[in-house]
């Protein structure tokens, strides 16, 4: 996939993450929706590790899970052994009077590690519907990158600081289809409650489609397909740079051409969380008639050769990408 980045071990070691799992809260939401909730949690952790290392350029240094581990008729010792075999440390928190005992232990331990492990650049929390907003704010005040992957997102972010609202990732995006569907059926998140940046709400083709009438914009579409057509999504910064280098000046500014393609429903933009900066990707509407025409013409052109960008494309992304505002496109 185009989002995967070629990184060496030295680059990854610069950004270390601690993953903290609110096991009881997480399995409480999985519960009846999964026949083996522990396996689902292990899969979630595995996908979260991949997401951090491949997409956010953060190396998961340690994973710790907190909970009773014996709820829902599970054998706590067997669950903890299975998690240990997967490289996950467990902190046993007996189920007490309060349902938030595990969450409190997680918060206290995170605060301790904040001061005892200054090498940690990021704190990543995995939960069901505990959102840890005070902890997010505390960690951010110390300059830490914070990501909360939860199965349920806050129903409202009114009054929250923008950096807090940006800290959430819909953990259902990391689930396999059958488990994600079971959660969705039981607990639907309303449209008003979905956060900006939620992958499930972003992957939507434009509702209105018109033909591209501007010649420069059409040439921009041809360039997009010729040089980046093999990718599912395209980093915006290298695309704009390629357009600036390749298209004639009379076609207009690259950002203006992207705007025209957006207005015609050919493409749309999505924000991705990155470390240390967020970045923007461009998605192509496969159903747009102009996209179909350009692809058909490329297939008919016997002189067409696919450019090879397996590494240079990814490495071409720079920190300036986060400066591009959606309002400009």
Radius of gyration of the chain (CA): 22
Q: What is the CATH number of domain 9-196?
A: 3.40.50.1010
What strands, in cross-sheet order, belong to the sheet with 279-284? 234-235, 279-284, 267-272
* Structure-block tokens of residue 275: 């470390």
Report the SS3 class of residue 189: coil
Q: Where are the domains of the chain?
A: 9-196, 215-328
Q: Residue 279 has what pLDDT?
A: 75
Residue found by looking up tokens 């200054």 in the block: 118
Tens-digit pLDDT string for the chain (329 aa): 222 233 343 444 478 999 999 998 998 887 644 457 888 899 999 999 999 988 888 999 999 999 988 876 578 889 999 999 999 999 999 877 666 789 999 999 999 999 999 999 999 999 998 989 999 999 999 999 999 999 887 755 544 556 677 788 888 888 764 444 444 444 443 333 333 334 443 445 677 899 999 999 999 999 999 999 888 788 888 899 999 999 998 999 999 999 999 999 999 988 776 555 567 889 999 999 999 999 999 887 645 454 444 433 443 444 444 444 443 44
Q: At what angle do helices 76-85 and 37-50 cross, to 10 degrees?
A: 20
- In this chain, the answer to whether the domains covering 9-196 and 215-328 adopt an identical fold is no
Give the separation between CA 163 and CA 57, rounded to whole angstroms.
19
CATH T-level topology, domain 215-328: Arc Repressor Mutant, subunit A (1.10.10)
**Residue 195 per-residue DSSP state:** P
Distances (CA, A) of 118 to 91, 106, 122, 163, 304: 22, 18, 10, 21, 52
Q: Residue 51 contacts by C-beta under 8 Å, 6 or more apart in sequence?
A: 174
| 225, 291 contact by CB (below 8 A) | yes
| 9, 318 contact by CB (below 8 A) | no
- Whether this prediction's pTM lies above 0.85 is answered by no
């Amino acid at each position: 996939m185009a989002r995967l980045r070629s990184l060496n071990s030295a680059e990854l070691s610069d950004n270390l993450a601690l993953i903290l799992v609110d096991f009881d809260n997480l399995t409480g939401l999985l519960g009846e929706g999964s026949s083996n909730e522990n396996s689902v949690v292990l899969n979630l952790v595995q996908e979260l590790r991949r997401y951090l290392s491949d997409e956010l350029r953060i190396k998961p240094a340690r994973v710790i899970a907190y909970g009773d581990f014996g709820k829902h008729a599970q054998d706590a010792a067997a669950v903890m052994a299975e998690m240990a075999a997967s490289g996950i440390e467990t902190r046993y928190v007996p189920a007490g009077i309060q349902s938030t005992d595990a969450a409190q232990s997680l918060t206290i331990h995170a605060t301790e590690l904040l001061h005892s492990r200054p090498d940690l650049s990021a704190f990543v929390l995995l939960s069901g519907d505990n959102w840890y907003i005070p902890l997010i704010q505390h960690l951010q005040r110390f300059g830490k990158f914070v990501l909360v992957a939860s199965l349920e997102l806050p129903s409202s972010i009114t009054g929250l600081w923008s950096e807090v609202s940006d800290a959430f990732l819909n953990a259902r995006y990391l689930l396999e289809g059958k488990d994600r569907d079971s959660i969705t059926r039981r607990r639907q998140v309303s449209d008003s409650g979905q956060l900006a940046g939620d992958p499930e709400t972003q992957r939507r083709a434009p509702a209105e489609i018109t033909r591209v009438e501007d010649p420069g914009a059409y040439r921009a579409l041809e360039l997009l397909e010729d040089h980046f057509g093999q990718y599912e999504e395209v980093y915006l910064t290298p695309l704009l740079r390629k357009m600036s280098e390749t298209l004639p000046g009379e076609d207009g500014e690259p950002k203006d051409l992207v705007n025209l393609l957006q207005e015609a429903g050919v493409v749309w933009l999505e924000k991705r969380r990155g470390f240390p900066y967020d970045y923007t990707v461009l998605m192509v509407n496969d159903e747009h008639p102009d996209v179909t025409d350009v692809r058909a013409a490329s297939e008919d052109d016997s002189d067409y050769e696919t450019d090879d960008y397996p590494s240079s494309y990814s490495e071409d992304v720079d920190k300036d990408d986060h400066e591009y505002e959606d309002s400009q496109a």
